[in-house]
Amino acid sequence: MTIQIRTVTGKAIKPYVMDLARLRIDIFRDYPYLYEGSLDYEERYLIPYLRSPDTVMVLALDGDRVVGAASGMPLEIETAEVKRPFLQAGIPVEEVFYFGESLLYKPYRGRGIGHRFFDEREKHARSSGAYRKAAFFAVQRPEDHPLRPEGYRSLDDFWKKRGYVPRPDLMTTFEWLDVGDTRETGKPMMFWMKDIL
């Protein structure tokens, strides 16, 4: 099968918001996120991507079907929870391009698409000349988490090979409903960062 990679920015993202919402629900349901999402919440969450011409979404298409997507936006338009660790560390948020989700259905993994997601977002962030760093975060689950699948491998090595460095000094907390739970709980999120200029 031939996968097409398409990059869209700003308001051109709008036709793909629901595709990204479905991907987030489908893929984040798995470990380590264990996210029990809803389309209503997802649609509201994704609205900021339509507010700036600097936002980006990199799509993986199998024919007309969106089978993967990776997003990014200027950190300065992200939520207070996302910006807070940078502000506290004295890192200028206007110099950081924030990478949101990077999602791909399992049958399409192992074909270099994840690398393309990073390549295209980094290229987009560099193109303005305004962003010196790229950053994203990942949920931190304990090694002995009861829902950790046998043989689970984190993406840490992939991210390190891409030049990203874990930043335990840059942490935030997000709340969501885990699969099977009845109330939302806070999850620690650690940032990874790379110099791109």
Specify the CATH superfamily of domain 4-144+154-195: Gcn5-related N-acetyltransferase (GNAT) (3.40.630.30)
pTM above 0.85, yes or no: yes
Contact 189, 173 (CB under 8 A): yes
pLDDT per residue, tens digit, the chain (197 aa), is 689 999 999 999 999 999 999 999 999 999 999 999 988 899 888 888 998 999 999 999 999 999 999 999 999 999 999 999 999 999 999 999 999 999 999 999 999 999 999 999 999 999 999 999 999 999 999 999 999 999 999 999 999 999 999 999 999 999 999 999 999 999 999 999 999 99
What whole-number distance in Å separates Cα of residue 129 and Cα of residue 136? 19
Shortest CA distance to 124 belongs to which of 143, 147, 99?
99
